[in-house]
Structure 1
Amino acid sequence: MVNTSNFTKRLEKILDYYSLSAAAFAEEIDFNRSTISHLLSGRNKPSLEFVMKLYQKFPEVDMDWLLFGKGSFPSTGENLKSLDNQKQIETSNEENSLNLFSAENDTEVKRNIQVNQNVKNIERIVIFYTDGSFNVYQN
């Protein structure tokens, strides 16, 4: 669970680090100014949408540090290497998932499905990514 007062201190540290006012920060991550104000005052807890937008704009901010105070900010060199490795893995996984649904694999997948006595047709497959995006593959 996110401790609101500690979260507020960490959010303020991010604003100081990037020399941003609350209004400029809201604009930077394309978020409502009043929501940022409520987060900074401790009135509200962060939403998933807020965290995802912050992470998209500032990927060097460690989410464990932001939400739970574990880790450090600004990220150390080791953390940034880990971030680069994670992005490479995600890109590779996305490419592999796209290859899975190529025309060559399509007939093999259909053949494997038809082996089953209870033949069921796949209507669509939805893949959700950790950045909040998703891909839909429809038959």
Structure 2
Amino acid sequence: MEERIRKFMEYKGISASELADTIGVQRSNVTHVLKARNKPSFQFIEKMLQIYPDLNAKWLLLGTGSMVDTPVKSRTLFDQDTEPISQTQIKTEKILEKTITNEQKPIQAQEIIPGPISEKATSDHELQDQFFSSEKPVERLIVFFKDATFKVYNPSR
């Protein structure tokens, strides 16, 4: 594994001290691993794989496969090939838009016609019988007038 770490460092063009600083271990730790004095710890390998996501874990641990994973990059909206729009297409689209807007009929507002308003005076008891059930007593009625005034009606008093 020491040889594979050394090859990866050559591939990236970094020194042992740069690798140690990058993955956050002591420089002596990297030196001891490269000289086969110590084997790399789990944290050492984990940090390498986290910092260098393109490093193939199977290659580093077992020596199989390629050194660097080449992920298949999924194409985003901006990576997709597009065909340029010709000026004739733009003109045709503008003409179509104009004909569509000319053919549309304007929407007319519908007026709400109020129903007949009864002008007869009703007594307090008739109002209460007409609009409210006896199951739930009315506490208060507030009537708002167009001149921004109001009147409070308390049937229980």
TM-score normalised to structure 1 length: 0.50
TM-score (norm 2): 0.44
